Structure 1
Amino acid sequence: MVAQAADVRSRPANLPTLEGMPLHKARPPLGQHFLRDTSVCARIADAIVSPPEAHVIEIGPGRGALTGRLAAKGVPLTVVEVDEALADGLRDRYEGHGQARVEVICADILDIDLPDLIAQRTEGRAVIAGNLPYYITSPILRKVFSAAAGIERAVFLIQKEAALRLAARKDSRDYGFLSVLCRLHAEPELLFSVPPEAFQPPPEVTSAVVRLRMRRDIHAPPGFIDFLQRCFTHPRKKLLNNLSGVYPRETLRQQPETDLRAQQLDLEELRTLWDTLEADPPSRIARP
């Protein structure tokens, strides 16, 4: 879990810190907010390690706040860290020092072939975890969803606003494309909130831990995700308008659902609309 040593003189009262870890100054372009609250790390580790034999891939371990908790539990662990200095620190701490089950990879998770990495590390389904940088949360989530067939579950610490969108249901303010994309691949569960003072430097917003239990019956035919994205392109517009660039308006008007906004339909209702519209391919006027 991305974590940075805090100056003890400036830390909030009663906030546990991670002792004995080398200092590292974050590079601002990486957008790092290092988790330093050991009680939060413990709760996240407990959410990850079940069952204990699953291979864990941690994204953005930083100084190893969460890595240490997972290593102590004896789980097979691969950590992917983009910052070379942080990756070197993790290697010094774990590799070759009796931590044979901890592997450190210095790379950008977005550049890694995640299904291939999972297949090389385990014969079963992996667990993905991490403290995700706010500015690339969506790309990482999409990458994880694309590899969902090889993933048992994922546990992420992310901006609370994003966590609420993942777990949102229809007719709610937070419901949108990310919500249906998530439910297409997983069952989301919002576990708990994490205040800004649990990080160094503290972010300006509250974070939250979300657990995603990946579905085993994922059904996403070609074009369906593009269809979902188009449905939510303009949230305030009706589906008739959002889909009129793909299907003739006269075809759309035959479906009562197109008089509604996408936020008023759940995933299965949107899937039914997709199936109906795709039953007659010649009715398409363009590909999204």
Structure 2
Amino acid sequence: MEKVRPKKHLGQHFLTDLGIAEQIAQSVQGHLGVNQLLEIGPGMGVLTDYLLKLPMDLHLIEIDSESISYLHKKYPQLSGRIIEGDYLKQNLDEQLPERYAIAGNFPYNISTQIFFRVLEERQKVTEVVCMLQKEVAKRIASPKGNKDYGILSVLLQAYYDIEYLFSVPPEVFNPPPKVNSGVIRLRRNQTQKLDCNERLFFQVVKGGFGNRRKTLRNSLKSFQLPEELNTHPMLDLRAEQLDVEDFVFLTQQIEASRGNH
């Protein structure tokens, strides 16, 4: 079969190291008993070969039509389970009506957007095992108080337990990216719903990190914080010093004050 050309505009870097592909696949645990697995961006199926060995029903989603025709030839057994489309936009309710896990070597240029989509789908996505740019992987898994800690860290850690698994050097890809890669695993935690208005929580987290150097008193000015909260010592901190519970508390206070107006 003709090999697929990696396309720069799609951020494609095909993994060539089979040992790493196997390690990624073996990190998928079927968390919370799910048996549906979606691979995002399979390319030429290096990871797919190992995901097929798992006791799960595998679906593939790929945006590149050249890869799609290659995958159809390589995996006739996946007929009907190869989706041509963009994970960021595709409605998967028909193909994956139940809860599912995700695996993949994510294109670096859209990995952050993939995670925002995972957050939207958090009631269905129980687990994510993926490779992405090391900096982004470290950021997502980072605890509070760390300079890597940011918006995505807080939002994802609200609903997922996150582990940084291992690092991957550039030379095991074709073409080699200019950065190192990291593999992380997210597993859905017990939080079905936060103890506050979740939409407002997202806004408060984004507002808090809007200017990392400022204290929360300044970065959250536009939320018209209630007078009694203005003296709270938490507002002397910067966003990176707060964990999920702290942001939930702030959101509850803002919500309560709005209710009193």
TM-score, length-normalised on structure 2? 0.91
SS in 1 for 2:47: helix
Matched residue, 2:215: 238
Correspondence list, 1:1-288, <5 A: 22-50=2-30, 54-73=35-54, 75-95=56-76, 99-100=77-78, 103-114=81-92, 117-119=95-97, 122=98, 125-220=99-194, 221-248=198-225, 250=227, 252-281=229-258
SS in 2 for 1:171: coil
| Shift, 1:100, TM fit | 4.7
CA RMSD of aligned residues (A): 2.1
The structure whose Rg is larger is 1
SS in 2 for 1:112: coil
Please list every run of 5 or more consecutive structure 2 residues that lacks an aligned counterpart in the other structure. Answer: none
Q: Distance in 2 between matches of 1:137 and 1:112?
A: 16
Matched residue, 1:14: none
| Shift, 1:110, TM fit | 0.9
1:49 and 1:280, CA in 2 relative to 1: closer, same or farther beyond 3 A? Answer: closer
| Shift, 1:113, TM fit | 2.0
Is the contact between residue 102 and residue 125 of structure 2 (CA under 8 Å) also seen in structure 1? yes
TM-score, length-normalised on structure 1? 0.83
Q: Distance in 1 between matches of 2:240 and 2:260?
A: 25
Is the contact between residue 71 and residue 101 of structure 1 (CA under 8 Å) also seen in structure 2? no
Is the contact between residue 164 and residue 182 of structure 2 (CA under 8 Å) also seen in structure 1? yes
1:217 and 1:248, CA in 2 relative to 1: closer, same or farther beyond 3 A? Answer: closer
Is the contact between residue 210 and residue 219 of structure 2 (CA under 8 Å) also seen in structure 1? yes
Q: Distance in 2 between matches of 1:53 and 1:171?
A: 34
SS in 1 for 2:128: strand
Is the contact between residue 56 and residue 78 of structure 1 (CA under 8 Å) also seen in structure 2? yes
Percentage of identical aligned residues: 36
The one-letter code of the counterpart of 1:165 is: R
The total of aligned residue pairs comes to 257
SS in 1 for 2:214: coil
Is the contact between residue 115 and residue 150 of structure 1 (CA under 8 Å) also seen in structure 2? no
Q: Distance in 2 between matches of 1:214 and 1:53?
A: 11
Is the contact between residue 76 and residue 101 of structure 1 (CA under 8 Å) also seen in structure 2? no
Q: Distance in 2 between matches of 1:283 and 1:233?
A: 27
The one-letter code of the counterpart of 2:122 is: A
Q: Distance in 2 between matches of 1:264 and 1:117?
A: 41
| Shift, 1:114, TM fit | 4.2
SS in 2 for 1:128: strand
SS in 1 for 2:162: strand
Is the contact between residue 144 and residue 241 of structure 2 (CA under 8 Å) also seen in structure 1? yes
Is the contact between residue 77 and residue 101 of structure 1 (CA under 8 Å) also seen in structure 2? no
Is the contact between residue 114 and residue 147 of structure 1 (CA under 8 Å) also seen in structure 2? no
The one-letter code of the counterpart of 2:159 is: H
Q: Distance in 2 between matches of 1:131 and 1:106?
A: 17
- 1:105-134 CA distance string (max 9 Å, x none): 111111112455431xx4xx2111111111
